[in-house]
Amino acid sequence: MPTIYEFLDLSHKRFVYAVGDIHGRFNALDVLLEKAKFDKEQDFLISVGDLVDRGDANHRCVEYIGKPWFKHVIGNHEEMTLGHIQGDSYIHTINGGGWLTKLPIEEQEYTVEQLMNSSYLLEVKTPKNNLCGFVHADLKWGTWQENIETPDIKTFTWSREGVRALRQPFFDPTIKGIDKVFFGHNAMYSPVKRGNCYWIDTGSGFADGYLTLINVDTDTYTKETI
C-alpha cells in the first residue's frame, strides 16, 4: 500500500543518483548507469516516478523495485496502472499502458501492487549530509513539512503548475525546510534548476526525448546519447 512520506538515511553511501521518468526504457537506463559507473554495492538510485508505459521493457523496470539500491516515488503512470485493474483501463492504454493488458490477471495485480508499494514524498539524507526531497509532479505548499502534514496527492502526481510558473523570469520556486527537491512528470528539453528545485524529466517516453541521471550532491548530470 502507498504511503504519503518516507525517509531514508543514505549518508553511508558513496553516491546518490536521481533519474528522470524512465517509462519502460530499461535498456537505456542500464546503459546510463554503466556510463555513470554506478556501483550497486556503494551507490543508490532514486526514480522520480513513471517507471513504466510507452517503453518496451516495462517488466524489467518493475524488477528494480525492492532492490536494496533502488527506490521510486509514485507518479501518475503508477496511479494509472491501479486505475487499469480497477476497471478504468482506457486512459492508461492510450498513454502507453497496453503492455499491462497482455499479462495474466494475477501478474497484472502483482505488478500494480509493486508499483504502488511506495511513497508520494521521499526525503533522503545524502552522503554530503544534504536533505533532498523527491516527488513526481509538484508540491502544493512552500515548505516541505507542510506538504507532509497536509498532502495533496493530485498535486504530487499530476500537477504542472510549478513548471508553468517557470515562464515568469523572477519566479522563485524554492521549497523551505529542505536542501533540494527533485521532480519528474514535465518533459523538458534539458534539465532545469531554479531555486532549490530540479526538473529532471527530459522526455524519455517520447521519440525526441532522452533519459537523464543526476548526482544529487554534486549536481553532475549524465545524459543518454540521442
Separation of alpha carbons 26 and 64, rounded Å: 10
For the chain, list residues with pLDDT below 70. 226
Nearest to 46 by CA among 217, 191, 226: 217
Q: The domain containing residue 196 runs over which residues? A: 3-223
Which CATH number belongs to the domain containing residue 66 in this structure?
A: 3.60.21.10
Give pLDDT, residue 169. Answer: 87
Number of domains in the chain: 1
Separation of alpha carbons 182 and 189, rounded Å: 16
What residue has cell string 476497471? Answer: 87
Give pLDDT, residue 197. Answer: 98
Tens of pLDDT, residues 42-53? 999 999 999 999
Give pLDDT, residue 226. Answer: 62
- Do the Cβ atoms of 13 and 125 come closer than 8 Å? no
Facing residues of 182 across strands? 134, 198
- Do the Cβ atoms of 120 and 157 come closer than 8 Å? yes
Give pLDDT, residue 207. Answer: 87
Give pLDDT, residue 78. Answer: 97
Separation of alpha carbons 100 and 174, rounded Å: 38
| Residue 108 three-state SS | helix
Facing residues of 194 across strands? 197
Facing residues of 198 across strands? 182, 193
Nearest to 122 by CA among 3, 201, 5: 5
- Do the Cβ atoms of 194 and 169 come closer than 8 Å? no
Q: Which three cell numbers stand for residue 74?
A: 509514485
Average model confidence (pLDDT) for the chain?
96
Q: Where are the alpha helices (DSSP H) in 6-116?
A: 26-35, 58-62, 76-85, 90-92, 98-101, 105-116
> Would you please indicate which residues are annotated as catalytic (active-site) residues?
77
Which DSSP string do the residues of 194-225 spell out, in sequence order? ETTEEE----TTSTT---EEEETTTTEEEE--
